[in-house]
Amino acid sequence: FVKRDDLLGVGLGGNKIRRFAYYLGEALDTGCDIVVAGGGGARSNQTIAAAACAAKAGLPVHLVVPESVGPVVRKLAELLQAELHFAESSDASSLNRTIRAVCQMLKAQGHRPYIVRPGAAGPLGMLGYVDAMRELYEQAAACRIEIDHVLCCGGTGTTYGGVLLGTKLFHSQTTATAVAIGRRFRHAETLCRDIAKAAKLG
């Protein structure tokens, strides 16, 4: 069975949409008036997810992306009225350096920017997949399906952290497994620490 988060209905879907529900909620709650989001890799769905979710929330968005980002992402960002800023590479240090520069510029203009780091990683973002697991078990129960193992891919580990926490909260006998898709998957100790923080936030 597959949970179709590509059909979430905002932008092109994908795992970042659930994270942005929490990030943008925090942005609005704290009085921020503009979003600065760092893209992931050149083919990451984060760029378009950030633009689509910010547009839905009524917040202008500045996207920091590597120069190598392709024409499709550039055009979609333009259609969603996002402003693009280009970092020299997709390396996290290059993206973060450009994010800081963009934020300084916006603050000088009188804005209160809310930052979403590359990868949209962190404990708050995990709560999106705690929600997803609650939905999963409700849907499975309605269809009389017994789920005993959940498998997901992981880049930074944020989605997996939410999946793992959600399974323990809503169906503790379920096993959750992540397949790492890159070197950015975080060390187990860091991931466990963020899961514990997410549990407190929830």
> Model confidence over 15-61: pLDDT tens digits?
899 999 999 999 999 999 999 998 766 667 888 899 999 999 999 99
Structure tokens belonging to residue 179: 């397949």
Instruction: State the pLDDT at residue 40.
Output: 64
CA torsion 151-156-158-163 (nearest 10°) is: 10
CB atoms within 10 A of CB 113: 21
Tokens 């992306």 — which residue?
A: 65
The predicted-structure confidence for 133-185, as pLDDT tens digits, reads as follows 999 999 999 999 999 999 998 888 899 999 999 999 999 999 999 988 876 67
Alpha-carbon distances of 170 from 33, 137, 164, 166, rounded to whole Å: 35, 7, 10, 6
The three-point CA angle 89-106-97 to 5° equals 25
Report which secondary-structure segment, H or E, holds 149.
strand 149-154
Residue 68: pLDDT band by 50, 70, 90 thresholds? Answer: confident
Alpha-carbon distances of 102 from 70, 87, 94, 189, rounded to whole Å: 21, 11, 13, 32
